[in-house]
Amino acid sequence: MTIYPGKKGNLKGTSLVVLTIIAIILSIFFFTKRGVFAWFIMICLAFLIPLVYKGMILKITLYDNRIVILRPISRQTIKIADIAFCAVHDIGEGNFTLYSFMKNKKNGDVKITGIKSDKSYDEVLKTMKKGGKLEGIQINFNKADKIPIALVENSDELKEKILDNVDIQHYDATYC
């Protein structure tokens, strides 16, 4: 078990934004006439809170068989054995986001979440290993589980350990 704490500056910034949004909503609610426009502004601001909350990472814990992402109110667990393959997105300046595509078993058939293809599970993995132009495969990164390794300290080490654990479990890690 290895624990990677969240970056302090990131936690301070996102916490400040959430508290500011809540303060604006409360001040509109209590100190203005609540017409249609005021309710519209309050609802729009309320929709921003979950988006900012996704950026608040307290710590990421890496076990031998799972990854636990701890946020202030929630916890997300990703089983390494369920990962079909990973894609690493380089944001720049040494910051990465790790996309993990999960296996789905439906009616005895194995599919990959976020991959649209007529090919079987094994054929998709072979095509992904080859690289180059992926014919017959459509990748939807929005459906992948995102591991925000850029928001924790020692993110390079965490990225390498996750990819090594995925490879140890006999699955494939792909760099994009």
Give the Cβ contact number of residue 91 at 10 Å. Answer: 9
pLDDT tens readout for residues 22-40: 999 999 999 988 889 999 9
Q: Return the pLDDT at 16.
A: 92
Give dist(CA 84, CA 67) in Å, integer: 15
Beta strands 83-92 and 75-79: pairing type? unpaired
- The pLDDT-based confidence of 170 (bands split at 50, 70, 90) is low
Mean residue pLDDT of the chain comes to 83
pLDDT at 172 over 60: no
Does 45 or 112 have the greater pLDDT score? Answer: 45
- The pLDDT-based confidence of 75 (bands split at 50, 70, 90) is very high
pLDDT tens readout for residues 47-59: 998 888 888 888 9
What does each C-alpha distance from 40 to 4, 26, 64, 105 come to in angstroms? 39, 14, 47, 42
pLDDT at 171 over 50: no
The full set of domain ranges for the chain reads 81-175
Q: Give which of 65, 62, 90, 75 is closest to 150, Cα–Cα.
A: 90
What contacts 164, CB < 8 A, 6 or more positions away?
A: none
Average pLDDT of span 122-129 = 75
The one-letter amino acid code at 175 reads Y
Q: Return the pLDDT at 174.
A: 53
What contacts 168, CB < 8 A, 6 or more positions away?
A: none
pLDDT tens readout for residues 154-165: 888 888 888 888
**What are the residues facing 67 on neighbouring strands?**
62, 78
Q: Which of 29-33, 41-45, 169-173 has the lowest mean pLDDT?
A: 169-173
Tokens 């072979």, residue? 126
3-state secondary structure of 92: strand
